[in-house]
Amino acid sequence: MSKVPPIILNNGIEMPQLGFGVWQVPDDEAEQAVATALEAGYRSIDTAAAYENEAGTGKAIAGSGVAREELFVTTKLWNTEHGRDSALRAFDASLAKLGLDYVDLYLIHWPVPAKDAYIDTYKAFEEILADGRAKAIGVSNFLPEHLERLIDATSVVPAVNQIELHPHLQQHASREFHAQQGITTEAWSPLGQGKGLLEVPAIVAIAQKHGRTPAQIVLRWHIQLGNVVIPKSVTPSRIKENIDVFGFALDPEDMAAISALNEDRRLGPDPAQMA
Ligand code: NAD
């Protein structure tokens, strides 16, 4: 079984560098998918209130026999819940659905700049952190301008910014800003949602060279850059394949060939516009 190395977050908490994402997994399938991932050795699970599968995720955790302290559970506050009081209520609801008394990481899902409420929301997150009900707090889909404003107005630098990141959208400005601020970069849709990216000839050629799959090559590229990744699959063979990326290394020329694929092309929404 693969052992996933940890990243040390800016508050000293350890987060596995590779976890299991459950976006678009229906609640009644999440229990099985998460159970398969936990059996395969994943210890980090990425869910969100908006995925409507916190309950199924929680059932898999409860039934897994894995000690709570060995797990790293992330969930996120949805866009309709911005503001201090609604954030505190949303957090309680997420914990109840998960059946947990704390999460490892609580994220603001999107900044929703049009609402101009993410600073109040984050102040509620600081209260949750102080209570010990989240071991770390952070954000998702924040642009550097949002982070700058947040850091100026609050006292806890986000531990993580979870952003869309894959070889077609390499996010150089965000990654550089995060590194300067001590924020860990977590890649969502690390495989580019499996659409097209895994057939790119340069990636297929590197896969053949190493006797690995294109998905493993892309995940390994992220790992060697220092990104946290949370690939999603409901197919048991792919769930196992996606965590088996710690027994080989890409050569500098492989890294360079993948880094040359950047097109600054988003699959998901623009964080400045998402409401
Ligand atoms: P992904 O890049 O992980 O791709 C998943 C898809 O790739 C699968 O549905 C499957 O079609 C394919 N795939 C997976 N493993 C494969 C393999 N080994 N071989 C071939 N194809 C394979 O995309 P994602 O689900 O969008 O992102 C991963 C996770 O990131 C999500 O589940 C969620 O937890 C998180 N996420 C967060 C946000 C956010 O706004 N914060 C947005 C999207 C996703």
Is 91 part of any domain? yes
Does some domain include residue 2? Answer: no
Interval between CA 248 and ligand 1 midpoint (Å): 22
The residue with tokens 């800003």 is 177
According to the model, what pLDDT value does residue 195 have?
85
- Cβ neighbors of 265 (< 8 A, separation 6 or more) are 168, 169
Annotated binding-site positions for substrate: 109
Instruction: Write the CATH number for 102.
Output: 3.20.20.100
Q: What string of DSSP letters covers the chain? A: ---PPEEEPTTS-EEESB-EE-TT--HHHHHHHHHHHHHHT--EEE--GGGT-HHHHHHHHHHS---GGG-EEEEEE-GGG-SHHHHHHHHHHHHHHHT-S-EEEEEES---TTT--HHHHHHHHHHHHHTTSEEEEEEES--HHHHHHHHHH-SS--SEEEEE-BTTB--HHHHHHHHHHTPEEEEESTTGGGSSGGG-HHHHHHHHHHT--HHHHHHHHHHHHT-EE----S-HHHHHHHH--SS----HHHHHHHHTT-----SS--TTT--
Residue in this structure with the two tokens 């197919």, named with its chain if needed: 235
Please give the pLDDT value at position 3: 84
Which residue among 20, 23, 195, 239 is best mutated to probe the pocket of ligand 1, counting the most ligand atoms within 8 A of its Cβ?
Answer: 23
> Can you tell me the distance from the alpha carbon of 5 to that of 137, in angstroms, rounded to the nearest whole number?
21
Exposed/middle/buried for residue 155 (C-beta within 10 Å: 0-12, 13-18, 19+): exposed
227 in a domain, yes or no? Answer: no
Q: Does some domain include residue 216?
A: no
Ligand 1 centroid to Cα of residue 149, in Å, is 30
Pull the structure tokens for residue 55. Answer: 């309950």
The residue among 89, 28, 94, 39 whose CA lies nearest residue 61 is: 39
User: What distance in Å separates the CA atoms of residue 176 and residue 165, rounded to the nearest whole number?
Assistant: 13
Task: Tell me, yes or no, whether 34 lies in a domain.
Answer: yes
Residue 1: predicted pLDDT: 55
Report d(CA 255, CA 239) in Å as an integer: 23
Q: Contact at 8 Å (CB) between 104 and 74?
A: yes
**For 106-158, how does the pLDDT look when each residue is reduced to its tens digit (9 = 90+)?**
999 999 999 999 999 999 999 999 999 999 999 999 999 999 999 999 999 99
pLDDT tens digits, 18-34: 999 999 999 999 999 99
Give the mean model confidence (pLDDT) for residues 97-110. 98
Tell whether 186 is covered by a domain: yes
The Å distance, Cα 21 to ligand 1 centre, comes to 7
User: pLDDT digit string (tens) for 181-234?
Assistant: 999 999 999 999 998 999 999 999 999 999 999 999 999 999 999 999 999 999
**Residue 172 C-alpha from the chain's centroid:** 18
What is the per-residue pLDDT across 55-67, written as a single tens digit (0 to 9) for each?
Answer: 999 999 999 999 9
Q: How many domains is the chain built from?
A: 1
DSSP 204-220: HHHHHHHT--HHHHHHH
Tell me whether residue 245 is in a domain. Answer: no
Q: What confidence category does residue 2 fall into, taking pLDDT thresholds of 50, 70 and 90?
A: low
Pick from 199, 236, 234: which is nearest to 218 by CA?
199
Domain span at residue 29 reads 7-190
Residue 237 falls inside a structural domain: no
Task: List, chain by chain if needed, residues with CB within 6 Å of any ligand 1 atom.
Answer: 21-23, 46, 109, 140-141, 162, 188-194, 198, 213, 215, 230-233, 238, 241-242, 268
Residue 171 alpha carbon to ligand 1 centre in Å: 17
Atom of ligand 1 nearest to the CA of 191: 2
Pocket perturbation via mutation, ligand 1, pick of 45, 232, 243, 270 by most ligand atoms within 8 A of CB? 232
Q: Is-catalytic flag, 122?
A: no
